Structure 1
Amino acid sequence: MFSIKGTLIYTGNEVIQNAYVNVKEKIITGVSTAPLGDVKGEYAVITPAFIDPHCHIGMYRAGEPEYEGEANDQMDSILPLADALDSVQMDDTAFQEAVEAGILYSCVVPGSGNILGGRSAVIRNYAKTSTDALVTRAGIKAAMGYNPMSTREWKGKRPYTRMGAVALLREKLYAVKAKLEKQEKEEKKDTVFSREEEIFLDILYGKEVLRVHVHKIDDIETILRLVDEVNALRPEFKMTMTIEHAGDVHDGYIFHKLKDRGIPVIYGPVDSHPYKVELKHESWRHIKHLITSGVEYGLMTDHPVILQRMLLTQLRWFLRSGLSKQEAIQVLTRNNAKILRIDHLLGTLEQEKWASFSCWNGDPFDLGCYPVAVYGEGEVLYALQEEK
């Protein structure tokens, strides 16, 4: 067992002064005012590991041309069997830079060119291989709005409009429903569903969360209507989703609606250029709508749109919008972990959680401060003194 002292510790729930994070093997045994093991170091600030809940790190790789990027496969618009993990390459140098910035975990998702892009993967940024990196799954990537209708030149059946994209997704959902009802009507217990159809059944039953790329208010309303329409078909249908991006939301009404429905928002990225019409209302000032609505939310980089190492710097807009430093740190730790359903493992410095945290030489919100030691599951991943 060992202990790390922090003059200031952000636990993800509260701020504690002059205390110790105690670690046994890979697990935190608690935070205490006295050490429970050998003291390995003393630092100005300790924070839980940061988590990026939506990115394409390892898929779009540093130093490689854009056409070699693998976030979107162009063979068809609906690809439930695609798996983001299969395109992750752990030798992407962005991983090490993220670790040095205290970002130890990523939810890697397929891109938004396809209506249904495939399965997501929550990974360790510090693993040697993609197999070792996998922590868990966090749903199926979907996309509404401009992006899927902009891929008309790609292969397969492609939408030209927003209504066309929704129609293609609706067609798949209704086809699986029809096959299910035919099986029940004819009492054919040996009916075989393809693996693709099984995934759609999991979506219909709420076993797989739809991670919906969407920016505009009316596009959010569209996916809400579709979910309501499908869920009304059978009592056991319980489609669930997260709203990802919401960059063009400039009226807080929709966030209040999502709060009432228990639908989380993975917001951002905040510091990217609004390069398309559906982002014409984008502004950091709209963060106030997110905060005041009370909706459950986290914050992404969408790497490489914002480099993952810059995840923390986006929080300056949340501080300016009224959050305390503790509340801001919580967005990248507890909030992101909860939305990804890994809060039993990560997100706070509490007993039985993974011993993954960063030790800083000062206030993380000071531009002159940075992590000088980073721990992942009890192991030292980075220590500044090694840079010689």
Structure 2
Amino acid sequence: MAITAIKNANVFNHDTGDFTTQTVLIENEKIAAVLSSYEDLPEDHQIDATGFYLTPGFIDTCSQIGLKEIGIRWEGNDGYEPNEENGSELQVVDGIYPFDSAFKDAVASGVTAAHIVSAPESVVGAKTSVIHTNGKTVDEMLLYKNLGFSFSMGDVPKNAFMEKTKSPLTRMGIAQKIRTALKNLLNANHLEGAPIFIRSHRADDIATAIRIAEEFRLPIILVHATEYPLVTSRPADQPFSVIAGPCFQPIERGELQLLDPSLYSALFEQDVPFTFATDHPVSSVTHLQLEGALALKAGVPEKVILNGLTRDAAKLLRIDQLTGSIQKGLFADCVLWNKHPLDLTARSVRTFIKGKEVYRWE
């Protein structure tokens, strides 16, 4: 049996937000124990982590990594199917390339899992998947094959429709397409509690997404929600969460004019559950740690941020029974940092996925 002890690390405590000196025992793929000390292994099975910080691997809750390859032109872009009206029949798992060089960047940046969502050009997107960021086949990387359904509102799908058809698509038209897709999914009993992700930036799009959720009595997860602080009408009894960000990206479109890390503090102050995303390659997967640091600068507590990058992200993506915490029985997806992980000068020195060291900073 492969056993490794990460000794005397400052281990993140999800409940208190503190780092406590502990030893984490990894056996095969999983965490076998979290102990105050451990001395029973030979030296070559021990990692002296004194002075280092240990967290669960970060989880990017909206990404196109492997679906839209970096440094590749149209050949590596499998995030958008322009001729498919009913995108909910597609599966992103069929388009993920496990040798996208961005996966190496992910593990080097402490990102061990990602929620893959089709590109925002599609009003009705493909079924989403959650994967580990290391593996030679997609099947090996899968944490959740078909998690939920994705939809997109705003400037990007409007422009994509215009380029394809040479005719305009209004926000009214987008809303109707989403309503029709949801009706069809409900009639076919395909939702069955599956999460619904809706990309939206502008306040009016966010309000429309919430309105549609109330009409169908469905909980939704807003993605991006850039102008959420401007939204005054919020459902009293219809729960929703937000996959926020990325705030570090070029302001290239009108709907991004109010992009600012204060979004994170607004969500926190209004007690809206939220996690973090890079929407790689919109912002690089290497910037997920930066998004957390921007939230810290905006006034969000460290505990909320680190949970949003790990345990809460896993809960949102329904993989918390597999990963997201340093807890006995879960996959040993963890990262050793040379400084506090929200320090912008901190870096991952070792990254583990399913107990295997997939990155080491020499």
Distance of 2:269 and 2:69 partners within structure 1:
36
Displacement after TM superposition at 1:40 (Å): 1.5
Deviates more, 1:146-155 or 1:291-300: 146-155
**Structure 1 CA distance for aligned equivalents of residues 71 and 58 of structure 2:** 24
Equivalent residue number for residue 102 of structure 1? 110
Indicate the residue corresponding to 1:26 in structure 2.
29
Unaligned runs of 5+ in 2: none
Q: 1:223 to 1:362 in 2, by over 3 A?
A: closer
Larger Rg computed on CA atoms: 1
Residue pair 2:53, 2:339 contacting (<8 A) in 1 also: yes
Query: 1:41: which partner in 2?
Result: 47
Equivalent position SS for 1:149 = helix
User: 222-231 vs 102-111, which deviates more?
Assistant: 222-231
Relative to the length of structure 2, the TM-score reads 0.90
Task: Determine what percentage of the aligned residue pairs are the same residue.
Answer: 24
Kept in 2: contact 1:249–1:281 (CA 8 A): no
CA–CA separation in structure 2 for the residues paired with 1:171 and 1:157: 23
Say how many residue pairs are matched: 353
In the alignment, structure 1 segments of 5+ residues that lack a partner are 181-197, 232-238
CA distance in 2 between partners of 1:64 and 1:366 (Å): 32
| Contact kept in structure 2, 1:83 and 1:118, CA below 8 Å | yes
Q: 1:354 to 1:21 in 2, by over 3 A?
A: same
The 5 A counterparts of 1:103-182 are 103-136=111-144, 137-153=146-162, 155=164, 160-174=169-183
The 3-state SS of whatever aligns with 1:311 is helix
CA contact (8 A) 1:301 1:307 kept: yes
For the aligned residue pairs, the C-alpha RMSD in angstroms reads 2.3
State whether residues 51 and 106 of structure 1, in contact with CA within 8 Å, keep that contact through their aligned partners in structure 2: yes
Which residue of the partner structure matches residue 193 of structure 1? none
Secondary structure of residue in 1 paired with 2:229: coil
TM-score by length of 1: 0.84
Which deviates further from its counterpart, 362-371 or 352-361? 362-371
The one-letter code matched in structure 2 to 1:76 is: E
Q: For 1:46 and 1:270, locate their aligned partners in 2 and report how far apart those are by CA, in whole Å.
A: 26
Distance in 2, Cα, partners of 1:335 & 1:287: 15
Task: Tell me the amino acid that sits aligned with residue 167 of structure 1.
Answer: Q
Supply the distance in 1 between the matched residues of 2:355 and 2:273 (Cα, whole angstroms): 30
Q: Deviations over 1:222-268 (max 9, x none)?
A: 1222233234xxxxxxx3321100012233645xx368532110000
Aligned twin of 1:185: none
Residue 280 (structure 1) aligned with residue 257 (structure 2): yes
- The counterpart of 2:193, out of the listed 175, 199, 207, is 207
Among residues 249, 268, 279, which one is paired with 2:228 in the alignment? 249
Match of 1:228 among 202, 210, 214: 214
In structure 2, the CA distance between the partners of 1:354 and 1:295, relative to structure 1 (3 Å rule), is: same
Distance in 1, matches of 2:138 and 2:169, equals 35
Kindly indicate whether the alpha-carbon contact (under 8 Å) linking 1:151 and 1:158 is maintained by their aligned counterparts in 2: no
Q: 2:273 aligns with which of 292, 296, 309?
A: 296
Match of residue 304, structure 2, among 313, 319, 327: 327
8 Å CA contact 1:76–1:157 kept in 2: the answer is no
Asked whether the 8 Å contact 1:113–1:143 carries over to 2, the reply is yes
Tell me the equivalent position of 1:362: 339
Q: Is the 8 A contact 1:148 1:159 kept in 2?
A: no
